Structure 1
Amino acid sequence: MSIEIERKFLVKNLNFKTESFEKKYIKQGYLNSDKNRAVRVRIADDKAFLTIKGKSNLEGTTRFEWEKEIDVKEAENLFILCEPGIIEKHRYLVSYESLTFEVDEFNGDNKGLIIAEVELTSENQKIEKPNWLGKEVTGDVKYYNSNISKFPFKNWI
């Protein structure tokens, strides 16, 4: 069993792109997006994964996560079974003060939404924030990918 500890932030400008050391295209869908668990299939460039995430703690920082690499063809077939609302995004990896931020720039119905996540080793770990990081949205279910797939950014306004 693996525990994921992370914090989420909105991104206020595109400066992260020049600081990025890697960029990948991601397509993901949800086989289950119940509030107590999410089962996701994801293709990231030429690799595919099946991921199960549990319910977050009260702060939204910690939850169970299990992930297994699967065959890309199998993942493509699983998309047929996914709930409506496939997510497509570009993920940029940015190193800052010994941490790696994953910055997701969403496409399609979520175009215009940019969210950064950083995985931590403990809930109390202090982080230095890069200047492009905006408001913290950790624990706000509105910004969970499983929610964005059902309630896309284009409909928020």
Structure 2
Amino acid sequence: MEHLEIERKFLVVSEAYKKDATSETRIVQGFLNTAPERTVRVRIKGNKGYLTIKGKGNESGTTRFEWEKEISFKDATNLIDLCEPGILEKIRFEVPAGEHLFEIDEFLGENEGLVVAEVELQNEDERFDKPDWLGDEVTGQIKYYNSQLTKKPFINW
């Protein structure tokens, strides 16, 4: 199926990744819909806007439908105002490791202290290098989904 996202998610156990980061970008995002069957996300990443629709994950939580389109910064800003309560803010670091690129999110605000790494794969069984700063895998654990962090922030765990 076209538009499938295959990714694994991990906790991060040290800041050692920062020395290898190739970019650092502030992200603000909200959700127009957080139903498990379909989330609709509005994101401002740097000075660009995005609208993303994600479907429900498979049994392992590794694979799900994802559709994303770039929208204007102004449209994204206006749509953020329509989002459900709980706007997320985070700093995203992109860190190459072996043949893959990890996206590490340092959450801010009510989710401060939570640092999560994601790696996108071509298939669920694909092997990848696991850097020393990678901790426990949390793929498929719903409480780590961004849509859920808006409802039950890390500060309340």
Distance apart, 1:106 and its partner CA = 0.3
- Quote the Cα distance in structure 2 between the aligned partners of 1:75 and 1:131: 36
Aligned to 1:122: 123
TM-score of the two chains, using structure 2 as the length reference: 0.98
Distance apart, 1:80 and its partner CA = 1.3
Alignment of 1:82 onto 2:83: yes
Is the Cα–Cα contact under 8 Å of residues 99 and 128 in structure 2 kept in the other structure?
Answer: no
- Quote the Cα distance in structure 1 between the aligned partners of 2:49 and 2:81: 15
Alignment of 1:139 onto 2:130: no
Distance apart, 1:79 and its partner CA = 1.0
Number of equivalenced pairs = 156
Gaps (5+ residues) in structure 2? none
CA deviation digits over 1:7-56, x for unaligned, max 9?
Answer: 00000000011110001000000000001110000000011100000000
- Quote the Cα distance in structure 1 between the aligned partners of 2:130 and 2:150: 27
Alignment of 1:58 onto 2:59: yes
- Quote the Cα distance in structure 2 between the aligned partners of 1:18 and 1:92: 10
- Quote the Cα distance in structure 1 between the aligned partners of 2:150 and 2:6: 22
Aligned to 1:113: 114
Distance apart, 1:127 and its partner CA = 1.5
- Quote the Cα distance in structure 1 between the aligned partners of 2:48 and 2:77: 11
CA deviation digits over 1:68-114, x for unaligned, max 9?
Answer: 00000011000111000000000000000110000000000000000
* Alignment-mate amino acid for residue 106 of structure 1: F
SS of the equivalent of 1:16 reads helix
Alignment of 1:21 onto 2:22: yes
TM-score of the two chains, using structure 1 as the length reference: 0.98
